[in-house]
C-alpha cells in the first residue's frame, strides 16, 4: 500500500457543498486490493481490540456496530483507513464524523475523504491511520495512545480557543464561509468586499489607540476616573519601596497585578500584610516590570461584554475551587475536577484544568492547608486568587441580572476607551442594584 496524494479541502468541494473542511487522500492498495478485510486472518478481531470505540460507527448499515459488520463481511482497507482517521481524531478531542471512500478508474486506487477540525491534526491522522492499518494487517502490536496524545498536543497548539470557535460555529450556522489566516487565531469571515477579519477580541475596525489604552491598566484607570467612573484607589510601582508607599496611602487589604497583564497572570488579591505583598510583587514582576497596587474590594467578580456600544452579556466568575467530601485530599479533589469532560489544557476546552502552582500554594497557606489536607464535607476551598477562566475558574450567566443603570455605565465605558468589543471587569456585591448606590 502507498499514499499517492493528500489534499486539504477548504470550502465547497466535489464531496459536499456544506462540509467545507475535508482531507482527501488518494490511496493505492497495490497487492492489498486482493485482500479485503475478511481475507486477512484475525483482522476484524485485532481492529475491535485496538479501537473498541468504533462500535459507534454505523457506516452504510445504518446502525451501531454497522462498520464492524462491514469489516467482518469484507471491505477494502481504504474504507477502514477512512474510519480509523475519523475515530482517532475523535479520541483526541475533535468533533468529526463525515467520511467517504470511493474507487477510481484505476484498479486498486481509491479516493478517501474525512472531516477535520484542526488541519494539522487531520494531516497527522492520515499518516497515523496508514500506520495503524499496516500494523493490523501484519498482526503487529501498535501503541495508539502515542498518536492520540500527539494529536491532542497539535489541537492545543493549532486549534481555535473556545471564544473564537464559538464565533466560527455561529458563522457556520448562518451559512457564512470562514477561513483561518496563518496558524494563529486570525479568522476571515466571508469573501470579497463583505469579508470581516478578527483575532480574539480585535476586529478590522478596532481602533489601535483603544487597544493601547486598554492594555495599560494605569492609563485605563486614569481615563475612567476622569470621566467619573468608580475605580479602585491605588498606584503604580516597580520597587518594594514604592509598594510600601502605596500601602501607607491606601492600607490593607490590597491587590497586586502586572501593569500590562491579562488572563489573571501574576495577579494576587486580598493581600493582608507586607510579607504577602512582597511575594505578590515578585509574582507580578514576572510579567511586567511595573505593577498596579490597588485597594482590595470585596464582592463577586463580574465580566460585562459590550459590542459596538451595546451591552450584550454578563457573567459572574468564580475562582478555581474544590468542594471537600471529608475523605479525599485536595490533590485528589483537583484531579477529580480536572477529569471533567469540559476541562482541558489551555484554551482547548470550555474550561481550563486547575494547575497547582505558587498561587495555589499561597491560597492554601491562608487556610493552613497543604495539597495533602482533607477538607471537611461540603467545605469550599478556593485555589486561585483570581476568577479567570484561564486559571481554572468557572462562569455563570447573569445577563438578565444587570441593572439598567449599570448597563448604561458599561456602554459608556466602552465608548470612553473606544473599543468596539469591550470586556469590563467589575467587583461588587451585586450587579442587580446601581453600583453608585452600593458604594463601589
The last residue of a domain, from among 101, 131, 158? 158
On whether both 141 and 118 belong to a single domain, the answer is yes
Q: Residue 319 and residue 329: Cα distance in Å, rounded?
A: 19
pLDDT computed for residue 31 by the predictor: 93
On whether both 147 and 65 belong to a single domain, the answer is yes
| Alpha-carbon distances of 13 from 27, 112, 230, rounded to whole Å | 19, 14, 55
Whether residue 148 contacts residue 92, with contact meaning beta carbons closer than 8 Å, is answered with: yes
Task: Give a yes or no: residue 247 inside a domain.
Answer: no
pLDDT computed for residue 178 by the predictor: 85
Give the count of domains, the chain.
2
Whether residue 10 contacts residue 22, with contact meaning beta carbons closer than 8 Å, is answered with: no
On whether both 185 and 149 belong to a single domain, the answer is no
On whether both 80 and 22 belong to a single domain, the answer is yes
The last residue of a domain, from among 126, 158, 190? 158
Q: How do 351-352 and 343-344 pair as beta strands?
A: parallel
On whether both 75 and 91 belong to a single domain, the answer is yes
Task: Give a yes or no: residue 370 inside a domain.
Answer: no
pLDDT computed for residue 227 by the predictor: 92
Q: Does 217 score more than 70 pLDDT?
A: yes
Task: Give a yes or no: residue 287 inside a domain.
Answer: no
Task: Give a yes or no: residue 380 inside a domain.
Answer: no
- Count of residues in the chain: 440
Tens of pLDDT, residues 164-216? 888 888 888 898 888 888 777 889 998 888 899 998 888 989 999 999 998 88
pLDDT computed for residue 366 by the predictor: 82
pLDDT category, 346, cuts 50, 70, 90? low
On whether both 141 and 11 belong to a single domain, the answer is yes
Tens of pLDDT, residues 285-332? 988 888 888 888 888 889 999 999 999 999 999 889 999 999 999 999
On whether both 35 and 136 belong to a single domain, the answer is yes
- What angle, 0 to 180 degrees and rounded to 10, lies between the N-to-C axes of helices 404-417 and 217-226? 120
Q: Which domain holds residue 105?
A: 2-158
Task: Give a yes or no: residue 58 inside a domain.
Answer: yes
Tens of pLDDT, residues 425-438? 998 889 999 988 87
On whether both 10 and 151 belong to a single domain, the answer is yes
On whether both 85 and 194 belong to a single domain, the answer is no
Task: Give a yes or no: residue 392 inside a domain.
Answer: no
Task: Give a yes or no: residue 86 inside a domain.
Answer: yes
| Alpha-carbon distances of 433 from 95, 230, 407, 430, rounded to whole Å | 42, 15, 11, 7
On whether both 26 and 122 belong to a single domain, the answer is yes
The last residue of a domain, from among 158, 179, 209? 158
pLDDT category, 347, cuts 50, 70, 90? low
Task: Give a yes or no: residue 291 inside a domain.
Answer: no
Q: Does 242 score more than 80 pLDDT?
A: yes
- DSSP states of 59-100 as a string? GGGTSTTHHHHHHHH---HHHHHHHHHHHHHHHTT-----EE
On whether both 175 and 108 belong to a single domain, the answer is no
On whether both 189 and 98 belong to a single domain, the answer is no
Amino acid at each position: 500500500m502507498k499514499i499517492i496524494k493528500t489534499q486539504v479541502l477548504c470550502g465547497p468541494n466535489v464531496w459536499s457543498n456544506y462540509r467545507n473542511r475535508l482531507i482527501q487522500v488518494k490511496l493505492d492498495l497495490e497487492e492489498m486490493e486482493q485482500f479485503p478485510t475478511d481475507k486477512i486472518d484475525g483482522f476484524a478481531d485485532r481492529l475491535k481490540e485496538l479501537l473498541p470505540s468504533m462500535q459507534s460507527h454505523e457506516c452504510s448499515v445504518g446502525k451501531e456496530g454497522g462498520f464492524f459488520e462491514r469489516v467482518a463481511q469484507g471491505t477494502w482497507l481504504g474504507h477502514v483507513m477512512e474510519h480509523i482517521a475519523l475515530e482517532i481524531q475523535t479520541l483526541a478531542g475533535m468533533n468529526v464524523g463525515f467520511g467517504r471512500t470511493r474507487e477510481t478508474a484505476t484498479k486498486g486506487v481509491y479516493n478517501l475523504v474525512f472531516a477535520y477540525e484542526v488541519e494539522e491534526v487531520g494531516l497527522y491522522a492520515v499518516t497515523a491511520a496508514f500506520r495503524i492499518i499496516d500494523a493490523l494487517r501484519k498482526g503487529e502490536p501498535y501503541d495508539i495512545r502515542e498518536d492520540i496524545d500527539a494529536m491532542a498536543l497539535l489541537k492545543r497548539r493549532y486549534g481555535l480557543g473556545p471564544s473564537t470557535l464559538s464565533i466560527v460555529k455561529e458563522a457556520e450556522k448562518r451559512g457564512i464561509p470562514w477561513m483561518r489566516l496563518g496558524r494563529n487565531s486570525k479568522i476571515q469571515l466571508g469573501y470579497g468586499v463583505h469579508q470581516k477579519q478578527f483575532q480574539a477580541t480585535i476586529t478590522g475596525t478596532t481602533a489601535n489607540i483603544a487597544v493601547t489604552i486598554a492594555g495599560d491598566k494605569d492609563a485605563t484607570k486614569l481615563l475612567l476616573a476622569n470621566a467619573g467612573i468608580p475605580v479602585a484607589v491605588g498606584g503604580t510601582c516597580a520597587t518594594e519601596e514604592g509598594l510600601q508607599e502605596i500601602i501607607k496611602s491606601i492600607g490593607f487589604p490590597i491587590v497586586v497585578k502586572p501593569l500590562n497583564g491579562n488572563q489573571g497572570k501574576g495577579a494576587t488579591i486580598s493581600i493582608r500584610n507586607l510579607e504577602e505583598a512582597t511575594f505578590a510583587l515578585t509574582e507580578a514582576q514576572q510579567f511586567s516590570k511595573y505593577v498596579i497596587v490597588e485597594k482590595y474590594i470585596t464582592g463577586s467578580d463580574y465580566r460585562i461584554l459590550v459590542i459596538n456600544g451595546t451591552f450584550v452579556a454578563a457573567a459572574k466568575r468564580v475562582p478555581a475551587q474544590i468542594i471537600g467530601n471529608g475523605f479525599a485530599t485536595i490533590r485528589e479533589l483537583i484531579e477529580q475536577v480536572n477529569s471533567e469532560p469540559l476541562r482541558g489544557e489551555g484554551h482547548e476546552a470550555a474550561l481550563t484544568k486547575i494547575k497547582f502552582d505558587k498561587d495555589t500554594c499561597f491560597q492554601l497557606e491562608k487556610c493552613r492547608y497543604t495539597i495533602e489536607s482533607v477538607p471537611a464535607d461540603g467545605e469550599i476551598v478556593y485555589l486561585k486568587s483570581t476568577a479567570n477562566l484561564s486559571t481554572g475558574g468557572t462562569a455563570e450567566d447573569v445577563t438578565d441580572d444587570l441593572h439598567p443603570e449599570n448597563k448604561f455605565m458599561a456602554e459608556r465605558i466602552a465608548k470612553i476607551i473606544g473599543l468596539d468589543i469591550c470586556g469590563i471587569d467589575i467587583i461588587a456585591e451585586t450587579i442587580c442594584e446601581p453600583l453608585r448606590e452600593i458604594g463601589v
